[in-house]
């Protein structure tokens, strides 16, 4: 069984659609499939769109052959109050978003392992991988870059794969628009809104807007970022001490000195005390 973390983006619904067609084709030809797909959607983040279960129910009805699950982001902590308190104490908008993303990944990995999934299939396009390369470097997790873009062994004890790694966001948005039967407008095909105020702008927002612009006229830049990052040497995971929160290698820092990476130290509220 493989796990597909589902959002309502064009890349996510495209991957669900393609995998569903692939598995259906296998069934028609051989009477069986090479793997079973488990679909997970996380509720309770800052995005109101992601907290809406109606699109999830629509996708479940459209592709009923898979196992579907929803979990709340607060399950990564003790309660909804704990999550709200942590996010409110975050020192910046970037920190709040980083905390949420880290908790989502931890929750996804925990779910995959508890449900005996053999791998996690992410919906990251080439554009998304390029965005993560730049944003994670800016946040202080540059050492994790080789694992961010790689297929196969991950820092989390379960293989990661990125089937959409050769495609741009703009191509996936076009695919959603022309899919048959068509997807409705709730599945994101709208361009990123221009940033008009920097007060609540995050690093991810800035990088996303940059690459959305770049991929329109200079798509080779996006591919080069991912390709160059993929050439970075990968240290054997068993030889590296890892951050207890995000699993980023600790750059030879002794665990008794710090059990968190530089990015997580900057992210958490107590880092500002």
Average pLDDT over residues 26-39: 96
41: confidence class by pLDDT, cuts 50, 70, 90: very high
Burial 254-269 (b: 16+ CB within 10 A, else e): eeeebbbbbbbebbbe
Q: Is the dihedral of CA 94, 97, 100, 101 positive or negative?
A: negative
Q: What is the reported pLDDT for 273?
A: 40
Distance, CA of 24 to CA of 199 (rounded, Å): 48
pLDDT value of residue 116: 97
DSSP 172-187: HHHHHHH-SSPP-TTS
Over residues 91-138, the pLDDT tens digits come to 899 999 999 999 999 999 999 999 999 999 999 999 999 999 999 999
What does the pLDDT read at residue 148?
93
Tally Cβ neighbours within 10 Å of residue 110: 14
pLDDT score at 224:
96
pLDDT-above-90 percentage for the chain: 67
- Under 8 Å between Cβ of 26 and 33: yes
If we measure between CA atoms, which residue out of 74, 85, 91, 123 comes closest to residue 202? 91
Task: Read off φ and ψ for residue 146, nearest 5 degrees.
Answer: -55, -35
Asked if the model's pLDDT at residue 171 lies above 80, the reply is: yes
Residue 254: predicted pLDDT: 44
pLDDT of residue 80: 66
Closest CA to 100 of 54, 163, 51, 151: 51
Mean pLDDT of 52-71: 94
H helices present in the chain, as ranges: 10-30, 54-62, 80-89, 93-114, 126-138, 145-149, 169-178, 203-217, 219-230, 262-267
Q: How far apart are CA 166 and CA 240, in angstroms?
A: 29
The residue-averaged pLDDT of 145-172 equals: 95
Across the range 222-242, mean pLDDT stands at 85
Instruction: Enumerate the β-bridge partners of residue 70.
Output: 41
Tens of pLDDT along 243-271? 989 999 887 654 455 688 989 998 888 64
Can you give the pLDDT at residue 190? 53
Contact between 243 and 250 under an 8 Å Cβ cutoff? The reply is yes
* Number of CB atoms found within 10 A of residue 245's CB: 19
Is pLDDT at 61 greater than 70 in this prediction?
yes
**Rounded-to-10 torsion of CA 13, 10, 208, 244:** 0
Q: Which of 32-36, 42-46, 224-228 has the lowest mean pLDDT?
A: 42-46
User: Residue 218 contacts by C-beta under 8 Å, 6 or more apart in sequence?
Assistant: none
pLDDT, greater one: 202 or 258: 202
Give the SS3 label for residue 37.
Answer: strand
Cα separation of the two ends of the chain: 44
Q: Is 140 left (phi over 0), alpha (psi -120 to 50) or beta?
A: left
* pLDDT, position 187: 79
* Domains of the chain with CATH codes: 2-232 (3.40.50.620)
Give me the pLDDT at residue 47, please: 64
Q: What pLDDT, on the 0 to 100 scale, is given for residue 168?
A: 97
Strand, coil or helix: 244: coil
Query: 233 versus 68: which is more confidently predicted?
Result: 68
């Amino acid at each position: 069984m493989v796990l597909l973390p589902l959002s309502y983006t064009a890349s996510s619904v495209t991957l669900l659609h393609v995998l569903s067609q692939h598995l259906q084709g296998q069934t028609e030809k051989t009477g069986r499939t090479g793997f079973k797909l488990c679909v997970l959607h996380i509720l309770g983040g800052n995005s109101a769109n992601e907290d809406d279960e109606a699109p999830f129910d629509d996708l479940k009805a459209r592709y009923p052959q898979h196992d579907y699950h929803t979990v709340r982001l607060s399950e990564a902590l003790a309660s909804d109050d704990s999550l709200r308190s942590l996010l409110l104490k975050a020192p910046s908008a970037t920190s709040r978003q980083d905390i949420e993303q880290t908790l989502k990944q931890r929750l996804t990995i925990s779910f995959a392992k508890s449900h005996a999934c053999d791998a996690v299939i992410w919906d990251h396009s080439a554009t998304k991988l390029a965005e993560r390369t730049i944003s994670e470097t800016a946040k202080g997790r540059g050492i994790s870059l080789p694992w961010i873009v790689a297929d196969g062994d991950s820092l989390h004890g379960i293989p990661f794969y990125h089937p959409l790694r050769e495609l741009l966001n703009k191509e996936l948005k076009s695919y959603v628009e022309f899919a048959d039967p068509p997807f409705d407008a709730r599945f994101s095909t709208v361009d990123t809104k221009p940033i008009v105020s920097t007060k609540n702008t995050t690093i991810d927002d800035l990088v996303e807007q940059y690459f959305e612009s770049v991929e329109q006229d200079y798509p080779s830049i996006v591919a080069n970022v991912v390709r160059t990052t993929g050439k970075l040497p990968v240290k054997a995971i068993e030889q590296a001490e890892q951050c207890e929160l995000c699993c980023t290698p600790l750059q030879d820092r002794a665990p008794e000195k710090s059990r968190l990476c530089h990015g997580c130290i900057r992210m958490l509220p107590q880092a500002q005390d």
